[in-house]
Amino acid sequence: NAGVTQTPKFRILKIGQSMTLQCTQDMNHNYMYWYRQDPGMGLKLIYYSVGAGITDKGEVPNGYNVSRSTTEDFPLRLELAAPSQTSVYFCASSFSTGANEQFFGPGTRLTVL
């Protein structure tokens, strides 16, 4: 199993550009999550999904969109990138909620200039 994979690893965007961060998991997990982590800060939840076709907002959803057409994929879309979106983005998945481990991808380091 590859676990949770994310692409790209690094990206530099200009203000106003758009991009999609890709996330794929091969563990047949129902739950998937997108977090952002700013320097010296913990993880903040952007969006999450409890299954294909179902998504919901987290703590900091503004400026982002998601979709979940398959169990495996959970892409995160940035529209009109802003410097405040400079961060490291982590995708995670879990079998269910409760006392279940969330497995994290390697992260995407995004800089908006």
Contact residues for another protein (CB under 8 A)? 31, 33, 35, 40-45, 48, 50, 56, 58, 90, 97-99, 101-102, 104-107
* Pairing label, strands 108-112, 10-13: parallel
Residue 71: strand, helix, or coil: coil
Q: What angle do CA 8, 13, 81 make, to 5 degrees?
A: 105
Q: Shortest approach of another protein to residue 37 CB, angstroms?
A: 9
**With contact defined as beta carbons under 8 Å apart, do 34 and 64 qualify?**
yes
Residues forming beta bridges with residue 108, ordered by sequence position = 89
16 class by beta-carbon count within 10 Å (0-12 exposed, 13-18 middle, 19+ buried): exposed
Shorter beta-carbon distance to another protein: residue 16 or 51: 51
Shorter beta-carbon distance to another protein: residue 3 or 16: 3
Q: Shortest approach of another protein to residue 101 CB, angstroms?
A: 5
Looking at residue 73, what DSSP letter applies?
A: B
Six-digit token pair at 40? 């010296």
Q: Shortest approach of another protein to residue 106 CB, angstroms?
A: 6
Q: Shortest approach of another protein to residue 88 CB, angstroms?
A: 9
Shorter beta-carbon distance to another protein: residue 25 or 105: 105
Shorter beta-carbon distance to another protein: residue 51 or 83: 51
